[in-house]
Structure 1
């Protein structure tokens, strides 16, 4: 029986033709997350995109699902993905976007731009004081994956010394001067001028950056949280920054999201909060990468080759 490929990715007409060419005998149907029908889900054997988790229970014939995002937490919850369905992600598709966002926040903090913006609102012409540079700084990245590698490369281009933390350090990762295992975190925190959290959510990473570790950081260090909000203890961060520690911090992810209006984080002057906007489809390169990865994996599927970015067999 021919494959029924349900494509929920934001594809161009040219890209639709490329998918058709990759699997010429398959039935190809393009739809949107909000417009997909029950009949389309029921027929689908291959699914690309960002379906609602509840919709997957309505796809009994599904064999392989490639998520539009790098994170697949919502689909790995018990009972969401039918047994036996292969799951792949779009890991790496938004690396440039998130890395550039992290660098923008970092440079803004180094140059005290949040303070300058606050002064602008008050129509104050006041010297913001001393500033920081990445030249000669040590940047510690917890999570030396796709995004961490891209971010480290940007920082190294500005003269920083980059250290990446990951579980397996047997192979080098582009952008890093040095790799270290996660167990070295405590020893490296006091040496870092910048600490960037770019870790996924897992039982091992939840609450990793707690009050004790925040206090291991240099008093004038900068913290960036760009992976998953669960990695950082937000109450501890508010307390530590309330004591006058840390030069500044930037959070693109929080728990919960949206961040509650009564959170003390909102009023910390040297803290940048962005609404989980570092990644997504905000750059055309991210969309194109995501589509290319799905197409490459479809070619692999057709040829019986191992799929890239495999999350679950």
Structure 2
């Protein structure tokens, strides 16, 4: 029999209304907010619920947790080893918390690249009154969303509302969600790359997704297309991307994620004028709504102990949502 929740350890910034959310579902619990550098072995050993991401060293000190609630949508690989160490623990990610903010960020990057706003911004710094020529419009563009989860699904709906035609790539066959005309599996990627004007990557870091976009895949794309990556930097071979941009196959690339992070100053990606880089800021706690969403997911999953249903529970075998 699962014991009552007595100790909730929170590792990310917590506002008063976030604490109230947790206490509403676990009124007898002690809710503590600690920074990673403040953690002790005793803190980790006695916690029934941990909200936030631990590093690998601290994770090994967890002994009795019933719920490990990540604050990230992706799952660090070392968490997947918990199946043996903590067989009764429930592992949940924060997928569902970030979709709105990241989808808006991706759309903003696309518009900036298409309308050449990055070039005009550079000209402004030089006091240069230049005309960079014709630009495309959104209506009628073909968008391929690779990774049609919460983030990809939100982006797809935005694109559909703006008059674009959207297709998706998923691991498994499924019915098309709202705003998507068709869903394909990864074995159709090459064919669909040749169809798309815009490719959004919203993928976790797994064996199947690393270097998914290499030189062969970029060669299959339409000349003058756009690439956006808001998942994990490992999905793109960055040398191949640089080649594709310089060859004009890719008219512009928006990267909120890179490999490694931070991207070293000497990386040639920084100096390519048609690559727009933001330092992994589309998600995180940059939007209040995202911050609130994480605690809402945590509160739901605490209330669901021990049998569920849980929101964004992680399959230890795959690293994806169960």
TM-score normalised by structure 2 residue count: 0.91
> Are the counterparts in 2 of residues 150 and 175 from structure 1 also a CA contact under 8 Å?
no
- The farther-off stretch of 271-280 and 240-249 is 240-249
> Are the counterparts in 1 of residues 175 and 183 from structure 2 also a CA contact under 8 Å?
no
The Cα of 1:8 is off from its aligned counterpart by 2.6
> Are the counterparts in 2 of residues 251 and 273 from structure 1 also a CA contact under 8 Å?
yes
> Are the counterparts in 1 of residues 145 and 168 from structure 2 also a CA contact under 8 Å?
yes
Match of 2:20 among 17, 27, 41: 17
1:59 aligns with 2:62: yes
The Cα of 1:242 is off from its aligned counterpart by 1.9
Give the aligned partner of residue 241 of structure 1.
Answer: 245
Give the aligned partner of residue 46 of structure 2.
Answer: 43
**How many Å separate the matches in 1 of 2:108 and 2:279?**
15
**How many Å separate the matches in 2 of 1:196 and 1:21?**
38
> Are the counterparts in 2 of residues 252 and 273 from structure 1 also a CA contact under 8 Å?
yes
The Cα of 1:198 is off from its aligned counterpart by 1.0
1:169 aligns with 2:173: yes
Give the aligned partner of residue 32 of structure 1.
Answer: 35
Give the aligned partner of residue 320 of structure 2.
Answer: none
> Are the counterparts in 1 of residues 301 and 311 from structure 2 also a CA contact under 8 Å?
yes
Match of 2:85 among 74, 82, 85: 82
Give the aligned partner of residue 297 of structure 1.
Answer: 301
The Cα of 1:61 is off from its aligned counterpart by 1.9
Helix, strand or coil at the partner of 2:216: helix
Match of 1:270 among 267, 270, 274: 274
Match of 1:308 among 294, 311, 316: 311
The Cα of 1:27 is off from its aligned counterpart by 3.7
**How many Å separate the matches in 1 of 2:258 and 2:83?**
24
1:154 aligns with 2:190: no
Give the aligned partner of residue 200 of structure 1.
Answer: 204
> Are the counterparts in 2 of residues 57 and 80 from structure 1 also a CA contact under 8 Å?
no
**How many Å separate the matches in 2 of 1:201 and 1:32?**
26
Deviation per CA, 1:113-141: give whole Å up to 9, x if none. Answer: 11111211221101110101110000111
Structure 1, gaps ≥5 residues long = none
Match of 1:134 among 134, 138, 160: 138
**How many Å separate the matches in 1 of 2:79 and 2:181?**
34
**How many Å separate the matches in 1 of 2:230 and 2:138?**
18
Deviation per CA, 1:203-262: give whole Å up to 9, x if none. Answer: 111111010110111111011111111110101111222223321111111111111222
Match of 1:181 among 185, 190, 215: 185
Note closer, same or farther for the CA distance 1:64–1:185 as it changes in structure 2 (3 Å cut): same
1:117 aligns with 2:136: no
Structure 2, gaps ≥5 residues long = 317-322
> Are the counterparts in 1 of residues 170 and 185 from structure 2 also a CA contact under 8 Å?
yes
Match of 2:195 among 172, 182, 191: 191
**How many Å separate the matches in 1 of 2:154 and 2:118?**
25
**How many Å separate the matches in 1 of 2:237 and 2:101?**
25
**How many Å separate the matches in 2 of 1:162 and 1:50?**
33
Match of 1:260 among 261, 264, 275: 264
> Are the counterparts in 1 of residues 63 and 86 from structure 2 also a CA contact under 8 Å?
no
The Cα of 1:81 is off from its aligned counterpart by 8.6
- 1:201-220 matches, cutoff 5 A: 201-220=205-224
Helix, strand or coil at the partner of 1:310: coil
Q: How many residues align?
A: 312
- The farther-off stretch of 224-233 and 39-48 is 39-48
Cα RMSD for the two superposed structures: 1.9
The Cα of 1:275 is off from its aligned counterpart by 0.6
Deviation per CA, 1:257-287: give whole Å up to 9, x if none. Answer: 1112221211111110111111100000000
